[in-house]
Structure 1
Amino acid sequence: MKIKELETPCLLIDREIMMDNIRRMQLYADKYNVNLRPHTKTHKMPALAKLQEQVGAKGITVAKVGEAEVMAENGLNDIFIANQIVGEGKLSTIKKLAESIDISFGVDSIEQCKMIEKVFSDSQKQAQVLIEIEVGENRSGIIEESDFVLLVDYIKNCSHVNLLGIFSHDGHTYKAKDLDECRILYNDAQIRTLHFARLAEEQGCKLETVSIGSTPPLMHDFGVMEGITELRVGTYILMDVAQGNAIGTYSNCAASVLTTVISKPTKERVITDVGAKGLTMQTRSGGICATTGLGYIKDFDHVYVNQVYDEHAIIYNETFRNTVEIGQKVEIIPNHICPVCNLYDNGYLISGDEVVEDIPILCRGKLQ
């Protein structure tokens, strides 16, 4: 099938660009002799996760227990859930998965560990956990050294919880005003993460894993400090407008949304058949990842989606309006690809103008 024969809107993935992205990040990890554990919440496709492992990834990262279940069902057997998992139901699911795969997950409180100890009390395997360290994103994770020391001490005395390592996410690098600031934020995050690793060692815990990750700094060769063992990075495989802005080109963007021009009601307005339900309304307001509009029209310089309704994209550009015809199909590169993948049942892998594979997005909607 030719791309232009596809019904719209639909998600396209350029095979050659994607594979180049996969290989490039694996070479980066190999250069610094660290493991690569891609965050598959970006694409939510076991088929792509397997490609990442085939190229050299140690295992994969997911965001939710439901994603872990689907990935395990489809042959992925080394999974880290980079999130605090709370609740007996979810913890029981992890306990069951641990019978057949290597699975670990995040913690950042004694209260959470008490729940884990209870649920795993009848398990032959200990729960494998990593403590999250807050490094500047102002999200979850340990902030105070005293809290970290107490948590490590608590886990050391648990019968059913094992401290595998620590992890951090320098997501605030997305908002860096320039690459110099991005480098500083990234290095500061590594230094802080390594400091907590040393604190754990001082308490008698030799950590197997010290994991970091965020796409913007890892698209540039800022280096990896000694003591870091693992990179968790997600968006690099498909890229998007925000990441393209961070590196100064959209040529690495493998994913796009194919959409059809359905109306040209004024001399400058164009309407296509994808809206918020296929693009989201996400933007990034500042820093190296700052976006313009709600998506970039591929192959048309400085043409962006200006507005979206549920099922309509609105573009105001007279030159674009005079170039395209009713019924013509164009591609939109999303501002943020991760939530966009979650909106589609499948992604079409393309090469040139041919569709080469229809890949189901099996983790779509796995939000629990």
Structure 2
Amino acid sequence: MNAMLSLKEAHTRLQEIAPSMSASEFAISGGMPRGFAASDHHAIRTQPQADLSAMDGYAICGDGPWERIGESRAGAPFGGALKPGQCVRISTGAHMPEGSDRVLIQEEASTDGASISAEDVPPPNRHVRKAGFDFHEGDLVLRKGVRLGPASLALAIAAGLDRLQLVNAPKVAVLDSGDELAPVGIPPRPNQIPASNGTMIGSMLHPYVGEVNQLGPVTDELGALAVALADAEDCDILITSGGASVGDHDLMQEALKAWGAEIDFWKVAIKPGKPLMVARRESRTGSQVILGLPGNPVSSFVTCFLFALPLVRAAMGDPNPLPQTIEITAAQDFAHTGSRHEFLRGMSDGRTVHLAASQDSSALQALASANCLVDRPPDAPAVKIGEPVSVYCLHNG
């Protein structure tokens, strides 16, 4: 496929060829599982199991005043039943005693010791969390394709689940190449720059796949690239950075073809990131997807955000793997766009957005200061201050 694709066409194609990962059972008690649910999960208990107090105060029965006959606290419920004119001291999360269906909060109660009174009697069910108000036994609590996060993990535990069926994370390798790259931690020679792309890409992918196999930097030599690619034999997704174009020293396509990969598509009508390349290969361990990102660090970041992250999410069963935009207000004028879909680095306060000082594809300082990408479709008209624009939110700090 040689024709330049639109962003939408490239996204569609990438999702079609994303590897399909198997699922495994993970014990919550054995660590901190993460990933996407491989199946629906249902509660095996009801939460809460009984009516609970939502406030500190008094569980009351009938009209006041009320005689205080005991206490109900979280984990130690009152053992008896209330009769009209009786109450018990109650704490937040404690079981409501039999005979009471409302709570007089502490701030509205008057007491002379054993007797409790109030100007107004609260209505039924005031400040009460009814049994099962969160979920009942058998309710769907984790839907297939949901990403397991801190809140959903807490929900699974509360629902009585200890073992979860999650999609296995793909094995990902990152290979950055270029004669000009010096490994991290080694001072670059005068004709070199530090190799930042591999670490940057690995950091972006880490929340989904954990450790990423770093294979670079590798020099622009077919032999060196062949050795590095051999170390990627068992990965599900290989992400390369640099060398994907057609210059005299851009050898990645040639090396990938010699490795047995077939180019699926190359070049996407986006800016930055036009030389994006996608290839596929059958290895001894299964099908591999290769995503070739440009070498300029900003281009590499933008294409990793737009393509590598969605590829990993799609492989893990996310039903909506593509990043989503939000609409906010332009804090400056934006020029009309050309024939390519542009992604401008910007800073937003959540209501408005303005552009970073530099939009050069090698400007890392401007990239690091950005917290969003302004989404400017091809042939989009100019935007004036105060008009709406779409942005992708970044987590860049």
Question: What TM-score do you get using the length of structure 2 for normalisation?
Answer: 0.29
| Larger RCO, structure (CA 8 Å, separation 6 or more) | 1
More helix, by proportion: 1
Question: What TM-score do you get using the length of structure 1 for normalisation?
Answer: 0.30
